Amino acid sequence: DALLASHRSYRSRPTHGIGRFKYLLPKEVPKRRKEKVQMKEISAGTEYQYGDINIQMTSHDLCLVEHFAQYVHRLCNRLSIRVNESYAMPTKTNEVLFLEERGSKMQLDAVLTTHQRVVQIRGLSSTFAPILLEVIQSSQPEGVHLLMKQHTEADFKSRLKSRPELEELLAEMS
């Protein structure tokens, strides 16, 4: 009898809950599992509203492009335009070689890095779009190339790592 009832606590007894201590410890935040990188739904927009639009800013100067991206993000916040995401695209490095005047050898001139920042907005109304374009253009700094286009799946895929093995297998299967 006593062997079977070893874990039972007698609620009427004053010793009820005598072994409890977990309620005294600080609350443990459950460990967040790594979130899978999934593509969010791309909205097409209605007749009076644009869907997902990417504002891509490219430049060789890192600080300039970062600050411009921050400015655009804050501007959209202030004008209550919904900003889906604001991320950075991977940097591209280019080696610039030029041909010497007297000689056939290519000489290394410089190593240039191209940085790109993207601000994704949704629900831009058709009447407000030209105004926003005007404002962004007027504050565009030197050397920063601005590109605004609709968001597509291909744009999202370009951010992901390439998987050559998977592609090989898929090609073999089909």
Partner 1 sequence: PESVPPHSLCCFSSCSSWLPQRVLLRGSHWQSSLLGFRTSLPVRAQPKKKKKVDVKKEQAQKERMKKKLKKLEKAAPELIPIEDFITPLKYTESNRVRSLPALSPEESERRVLLLKKWCLFKQKQDEAEKKAIKALVESQQEALRELQLESEELYQAAILRDEGLFPFEREGPSYTPPLPGYDPPEGKCIDITKVYTQ
Q: Which is nearer to partner 1, 31 or 161 (CB)?
A: 161
Packing angle, helices 62-78 and 129-138, rounded to 10: 150
Least CB distance to partner 1 at residue 119 (A): 14
Nearer to partner 1, 17 or 103 (CB): 103
Residues that bind partner 1 (CB under 8 A): 36-38, 45, 47-50, 53, 59, 62, 79, 88-99, 101, 106, 109, 111, 115, 126-131, 133-135, 137, 139-150, 159-166, 169-170, 172-173
CA geometry: angle at 91 spanning 87 and 93, to 5°?
170
- Closer residue to partner 1, CB minimum distance, 42 or 148: 148
**Nearest distance in Å: CB 154, partner 1:** 13
Provide the residue type at 43 as one letter.
S
- Provide the minimum distance between the beta carbon of 84 and partner 1 in the complex, in angstroms, as a whole number: 16
In the complex, the smallest distance separating the C-beta of residue 164 from partner 1, rounded to whole angstroms, is 6
Q: What tokens were used for 163?
A: 């998987």
Q: CA 119 to CA 34: how far, in whole Å?
A: 24
3-class SS at 145?
strand
Between CA 110 and CA 96 the distance in angstroms is 5
Q: CB-wise, 15 or 38, nearer to partner 1? A: 38
- Is residue 58 a contact partner of residue 115, using CB atoms and an 8 Å limit? yes
